[in-house]
Structure 1
Amino acid sequence: MPIFSRRRFLPSTPTSQNTSLPTLLAARYRSSMQRHPFLLFGLPFMATIVAGSFFLTPATALRYEKYDRKVQRMTQEEAMGLGKDRRKVDLNEEYYRLAAKDLYNWENKRVQRFKGEHDGILE
Structure 2
Amino acid sequence: MPRVFSSKSFSALHSNSLAARYRRQLTKHPFLLFGLPFLTTIVAGSFFLTPATALRYERFDRKFQQMSKEEAMGIGQNRRKVDMKEEYYRLQAKDLDAWEQRRVKRLKGEIDGILE
TM-score, normalisation: structure 2: 0.52
Separation in 2, partners of 1:30, 1:99: 81
**Cα–Cα, structure 1 residues 101 and 38, in superposed 2: closer, same or farther, change >3 Å?**
same
> Shift of residue 99 of structure 1?
9.4
Separation in 1, partners of 2:51, 2:63: 18
Separation in 1, partners of 2:52, 2:46: 10
Runs of at least 5 residues in structure 1 that lack an aligned partner in the other structure: 15-23, 104-123
Q: Answer yes or no: is 1:55 the counterpart of 2:45.
A: no
**Cα–Cα, structure 1 residues 67 and 43, in superposed 2: closer, same or farther, change >3 Å?**
same
Q: Secondary structure at the match of 1:72?
A: coil
Which residue in the other structure is 1:82 paired with? 73
**Cα–Cα, structure 1 residues 5 and 72, in superposed 2: closer, same or farther, change >3 Å?**
closer
Q: How many positions carry a matched residue from both structures?
A: 82
Separation in 2, partners of 1:99, 1:68: 37
> Please, what is the CA RMSD of the aligned residues?
3.8
Q: Which has the higher contact order (CA 8 A, sep 6+)?
A: 1
Q: Identity percentage over the alignment?
A: 52
Which residue in the other structure is 1:31 paired with? 24
**Cα–Cα, structure 1 residues 100 and 5, in superposed 2: closer, same or farther, change >3 Å?**
closer
TM-score, normalisation: structure 1: 0.49
